[in-house]
Homo-oligomer: A and B are copies of this chain.
Amino acid sequence: MWLRPRRRERQTLTLDRIVAEAVALLDEEGEARLTMRRLAERLDTGSTTLYWHVKTKDDVLDLALDAVFGEVPLPAPEGGWRERAAALAAAWRAALLRHPWTTGLLDRPMMGPNALSRTEFLYATLAEAGFGAADLPAAAFSLSTYVTGSATMQARAQDSSGAALREHLRAQREAYPVLAAHGLDHDWDVTFARGLAYLLDGMADRLG
C-alpha cells in the first residue's frame, strides 16, 4: 500500500521531449550509443513506452535530424542573393558541425518540414537572383551538396579517426606526397569559405 511506488507525476511524455532528449543523447554520446532503452531511461520511462509515440527507431533519428535543421535561421531577406546564400550555407554548416552525428544521417530523405523550408528558401533566393529553370536545380543542388559534403568531411576529420588518418598520412608521405604536404594542416573555416567562393563565383559568371 504505502510501499506502492509514488504515482508518477504526469509529466506526460511528448514527442517533443523524446526528440529533445534524443538530440541531447546524440550530442553527448553519438549515434552508436543511442538505443531505445537508453533513451527511455533518460526520460525516466520504459523503452516500450516510446513506441507509443514513435513507430520505429528510425523515426526518432529522422525527427532528431529535422530538429537540427530547425536550428538553422533563415537569413534576413535584405542584401544580395549571394550574401543570403552564403549566410544560409554558413548557418546550415554551423548547425551540422554543432551536432556532428548529423553527418552520419545525411544519407536519408530530408523531407522534414524544417529541412524543406530551408531548401525552399534557397530555391526562392536563387530564383529571385535570376537563375532560370535550366540553372535553378543545379545551383541549389550544388550549394546544398557543398554544405552537407563539407560538413561531413570536416566532422570526420575532427573526431578521433581524423587524428589517425593524419598520422597514417604522415607515415606514408612518400606514397602520397602532395596530399601529405597540403592536405593536413589547414583552417577548416577558411577552406570552406574559399571553396564556397569558387562555387558562387562560377554561379555569378553564369548569371552574366
Contact = CB atoms under 8 A, between A and B. Distances in A.
Contact of A194 (B138, B172, B183): B138
Nearest to A101: B107
Interface in A82-106: 103-104, 106
Contacts of A150: 141-142, 145, 149
A153 B142 contact: no
Contacts of A124: 178
A133 interface: yes
A168 to B, nearest CB: 6
B198 A127 contact: no
Give the size category of A's interface with B.
Answer: 35 or more
How many subunits of this chain does the assembly comprise?
Answer: 2
A25 interface: no
A123 B182 contact: yes
Contacts of A168: 111
Interface in A131-175: 133-142, 144-146, 148-150, 152-153, 155-156, 161-162, 164-165, 168-169, 172, 175
A103 B205 CA distance: 31
A127 B183 CA distance: 12
A191 interface: yes
A120 B116 CA distance: 36
A51 interface: no
Contacts of A183: 119, 123, 136-137, 140
B111 A165 contact: yes
A197 interface: yes
